[in-house]
Structure 1
């Protein structure tokens, strides 16, 4: 026994004759949980709720559309699986209600606290789950836990990631990249990247930011966070029906979009956009693209086609029953398997996917998320080889590699390598602007700063107590209650014969 509710938002409309359902297993109805392996060895065998979903957008029953595949949504979730990420599982079923055939449906796990407990460990009370409340104006809400962790992640992201410090901080690390158990891990970087790659490859224009809402509001995403764990927020594809289309809305979903600049509208794509200003994130993003877009990766055209057609094969005959039940729901001449469903399936398999990977790769390159240069090529496309295998690497440039798993991208700087170019007491030129000075002051060596104040030591002012002894150039009379900006020019010299030996410049400020 179980409780049943209608599932969905827009699809709850009266003109929709075929609703989706959500089943609740509670002690008041019978057993507190369903104890059955709904997904065989692929999933767990205890559930407190399960969804029975069906196509709504592009469906025969509700939309009267010849684009119906009953495959778009589950494809995105299966793709997360093949990329090595957590995902919600599904199986197809025929549904009868009081003996009346009601059509083809599909189970789907709920990516909520109980899901986290089942697959990630801990107790469900330790989980926060963030989603979009469409009925409240497309703002974020929690189904479990609180928004505290999400707020902390958003606050840091709002500041930005131009420095390494915040990039490492959301991963629970110190500014040098070492783990800090005292800091919470707020974000699973690789999970976010892979989530966005699924969004881009499918051209999803209704999640996590909706084109139907002028790209100013989020929609259709779930974020799961284990407060007591070290995994960070992880994101789940959900309701991915508005995908795999051939029109201007869906061609390029890489953004950037405004949704997310306020906390109420925050979403994973905005986090990705903020992170994209950080070189280390862009390098990691490129690594994930290379993993999935090349060498039999999960987003290669043939892999996408295989995944899509595997689900097609599961319902190749079952779709006939769906046609018999709902094919004429919105028209007198019914939609059929052979004339309509196969055409929709074949267009995606034969026209959409063969070109999609290269198209998205070009979009990512144009956004600086994948380099124009080709990475080194290995003589093995698999991660595991036989003992004695002779590995070779080829590239048009130098190849840097490590044998201990460390990232050769990270610069290694020892104390003996450091050279101080700007001492604390170096001469500075200072201006508190009263008009717009343009940009030449920060980009031109010949800029005339003779009218600026000059001095050495720290620049600033103190309205309370504590820093008076450190401030040598006091700008309080010009700034306090009057201005918010202070421009500082510090000339320095770099030997052109030495610059080739430098691999990093670091500016340290006390503020």
Structure 2
């Protein structure tokens, strides 16, 4: 009977038998190991059969198999007692180094006849408590030596000279005396003979090329044949060419290949090879591709010679392909362009209004070789009006990751510039843009093309302190054809909400556009709208929307419908840009439904019709049932109105993220990132409205025109828009006419002799070091002082808040946090501080603390005041070395700056966080 030492460990076998990443060029080392392995096979088979204990199975790329005691998918090694006696493993050793046989030794543990044992190869070196053993090395998926020695130092089992390349959730196990790949790992169980057919190896990986090369396809699974295609379709038994000899790759090509054994197929592997100089010659008419996309819509595939024949343009186009990541979307051409009106076979680029989904492969590569991914997935069209061929020839796509195509999630650091971005996705948008683009039917919008507006809005909402959609610019190729400049974007749905707000995805309501349900239901939304429409002028009604009593204290019996700071900042962002295509669509909001202690959060989405006319005024916009009605009703409440004034002052004054200097810096950053790609976009789509689907007054849109619009924004829009918006709010009686106080410094580290000066154009300045000078109801709060002379910052940490008051009218608040660098005097180890950070920072309620633990051990978090006194101690138990995350609840901390320290073993990591509520 089969027995298990580690049976209490979580067994979570969700393997699909599919891989995410195609082998790298360096994976040829795995082939060399395999050839050596084959030479030694006869000796090895005999050796394993005669061993008392054998290495019976390994999993060197564990994503969805069993988890260790820490909930981690560590790699693992399975041992099996092949003898008739119980063997104690004390002083037996495992090693991945042929020169170091005793690299990791077993504790005293018995392995009975016919019994299996799992040892996790995690590099954590854990021998106690039993039975969760961990070696002091990890397994290398590209292949390496692995051996087991007995307590006399004699080699008893091994994969020698080394196991070959390993694949995600595909185990390498001993069956009938030889090691084979199998689809489904079998920890603590007899190994299956279900052979895993390896996908073909490509001798050269995807990328950019300037010279022809020979491409070899090989498969280490014996007795297999290989079929490949070059038209984007997936090869199978009936489709494709038999591989016989190396292929000459001398022009842009997409190669898809499968291994075949006994009429069974491997997963398809795809590699795209792009020759940038040839992309410049991409023609308007292509063999096997239709000349029309549906009825009356002229197909457009070409790069414009007027652009590409200019050396300045062509040089920028070619260089741009190595400066942004490349997305290669590959599928059977008919999946995109078939004119057959059939939900199974019709083309998604022809029947654009249908939500059809087709099997595809997507690759991400380039950007300085930092990216390299291939994954099989589904593809749909994405968007609203932009789907219509009469409106736009350049459509957006949505990638979906499902077991029917490949992995259920894409695990990849898609947004490396965003520290708080997830690396696990079940869907991704590839956004083309629609409004203010060169292919729009409206001439003014064509002239306004920047390809930055929506990305800027999402980034700015994040800078304002909120969760926002992460984006990244990229070039898109479809079946090797250049398709233009796009941006990758997360999708706002229940998975997005769970990722960034916690809880369970099944508990979220997500609403968008025309009050459509993405996930969950409309119950809470409708209740919130009804409450707002009933009136929220008095504090009892307003606070109830926030889950509070009339005095502002929490009431757990009241659900929380609103996050007022998020709502206000979202409104300010859209009012600043004077969004012309909102709020009855192009928005999204999400809320956790079950716990009910967080209100709806609003997110920027398709924010393309902004920053057009600098004088446009939409501050009184009021759409029944939508976010602007919520806002306008709430503005009748004095407390909300004052909070709005405070947030407006925070963002549009001093160094706020909507001040001219801040916006111009951000805009310039995005412009620098995409400028070379703008030349490529011009060549691909800049002539569309002039030459293909002709519009009156259409031009050949070029990088020069893009620069003209950029100059208009930077020189004539951003410098004055903040002031115009403030005056619009004042004219609508939405912002106080009395100006907030000015400080001579707006925070940071100061000396003990620093004196803070304040001034105001009118009224008396009231300030507090303990909160808001204004008390609810407009009276002066306790611990508030009238300002007369500059004040000395004597505390190690202090947040100063000040308002001007004239009669019964209060200004918005001015605030700044000052600190002495007390960390210099605290006896703390600061050398590892850069490894520790938290986000968001400043913190309002929750923040994620993240670091790389230098060793495994018991983890303790200390939260300290700037004076060094311990405020809170959090014991988190044992954690393995490497990436560590903890979601910290800062809701009990007062405004200010705090030190937090992570202790693990002999190591102490320190950093600061600022709490502002």
Per the TM superposition, whether the score is higher than 0.5 is: yes
SS of equivalent residue, structure 1 residue 61: coil
For the pair 1:129 / 2:507, whether they are aligned, the reply is no
For the pair 1:289 / 2:648, whether they are aligned, the reply is yes
Greater share of strand: 2
Of structures 1 and 2, the one with the larger relative CO (CA 8 A, separation 6+) is 1
User: Residue 3 of structure 1 contacts residue 25 of structure 1 at CA under 8 Å; is this kept in 2?
Assistant: yes
Structure 2 counterpart of 1:458: none
Q: CA deviation at 1:390?
A: 2.8
Structure 1 counterpart of 2:491: 110
User: Residue 402 of structure 1 contacts residue 408 of structure 1 at CA under 8 Å; is this kept in 2?
Assistant: no
Q: CA deviation at 1:3?
A: 1.0
Aligned CA distance change for structure 1 residues 87 and 384 (closer, same or farther; 3 Å): farther
Q: CA deviation at 1:400?
A: 2.7
Structure 1 counterpart of 2:759: 394
> What is the distance in 2 between the residues matched to 1:226 and 1:388?
48
Structure 2 counterpart of 1:147: 522
Structure 2 counterpart of 1:182: 557
Alignment of 1:335-414 (within 5 A): 335-338=701-704, 340-382=705-747, 385-386=750-751, 389-395=754-760, 396-406=762-772, 408-411=774-777
Q: CA deviation at 1:386?
A: 5.0
For the pair 1:334 / 2:700, whether they are aligned, the reply is yes
Structure 1 counterpart of 2:421: 43
Q: CA deviation at 1:398?
A: 2.4
User: Residue 620 of structure 2 contacts residue 732 of structure 2 at CA under 8 Å; is this kept in 1?
Assistant: no
Q: CA deviation at 1:394?
A: 2.8
> What is the distance in 2 between the residues matched to 1:94 and 1:236?
25
User: Residue 741 of structure 2 contacts residue 765 of structure 2 at CA under 8 Å; is this kept in 1?
Assistant: yes
> What is the distance in 1 between the residues matched to 2:579 and 2:522?
26
Q: CA deviation at 1:28?
A: 1.7
Aligned CA distance change for structure 1 residues 304 and 99 (closer, same or farther; 3 Å): same
SS of equivalent residue, structure 2 residue 766: coil
SS of equivalent residue, structure 2 residue 517: strand
Q: CA deviation at 1:182?
A: 2.1
> What is the distance in 2 between the residues matched to 1:325 and 1:269?
38
User: Residue 507 of structure 2 contacts residue 520 of structure 2 at CA under 8 Å; is this kept in 1?
Assistant: yes
For the pair 1:275 / 2:634, whether they are aligned, the reply is yes
Q: How many residues align?
A: 392
TM-score by length of 2: 0.41
User: Residue 62 of structure 1 contacts residue 329 of structure 1 at CA under 8 Å; is this kept in 2?
Assistant: no
For the pair 1:56 / 2:434, whether they are aligned, the reply is yes
SS of equivalent residue, structure 1 residue 173: coil
For the pair 1:90 / 2:468, whether they are aligned, the reply is no
Aligned CA distance change for structure 1 residues 407 and 397 (closer, same or farther; 3 Å): closer
For the pair 1:312 / 2:678, whether they are aligned, the reply is no
Q: CA deviation at 1:203?
A: 0.9
> What is the distance in 2 between the residues matched to 1:235 and 1:184?
18
CA displacement 1:206-248 (0-9 Å, x = unmatched): 111xxxxxxxxx111101111225331111111111111128x
CA displacement 1:113-154 (0-9 Å, x = unmatched): 11111111111111111112xxxxxx3121011111111211
User: Residue 427 of structure 2 contacts residue 491 of structure 2 at CA under 8 Å; is this kept in 1?
Assistant: yes
Alignment of 1:229-244 (within 5 A): 230-244=597-611
Higher Cα Rg: structure 1 or 2? 2
> What is the distance in 1 between the residues matched to 2:440 and 2:406?
34
SS of equivalent residue, structure 1 residue 400: strand
Q: CA deviation at 1:407?
A: 5.3
Q: 5+ unaligned residues in a row in structure 1: which ranges?
A: 133-138, 209-217, 261-265, 414-499, 504-511
> What is the distance in 2 between the residues matched to 1:384 and 1:87?
30
Picking from 566, 576, 588, the partner of 1:201 is 576
Q: CA deviation at 1:377?
A: 2.1
Picking from 588, 591, 602, the partner of 1:225 is 591
User: Residue 199 of structure 1 contacts residue 253 of structure 1 at CA under 8 Å; is this kept in 2?
Assistant: no
Greater share of helix: 1
Picking from 534, 543, 548, the partner of 1:168 is 543
Aligned CA distance change for structure 1 residues 398 and 383 (closer, same or farther; 3 Å): farther
State which drifts further: 279-288 or 300-309.
300-309
List structure 1 runs of 4+ shifted beyond 6 angstroms. none
SS of equivalent residue, structure 1 residue 317: helix
Q: 5+ unaligned residues in a row in structure 2: which ranges?
A: 1-375, 692-698, 780-806, 811-917
CA displacement 1:140-173 (0-9 Å, x = unmatched): 1210111111112111101111111111111110
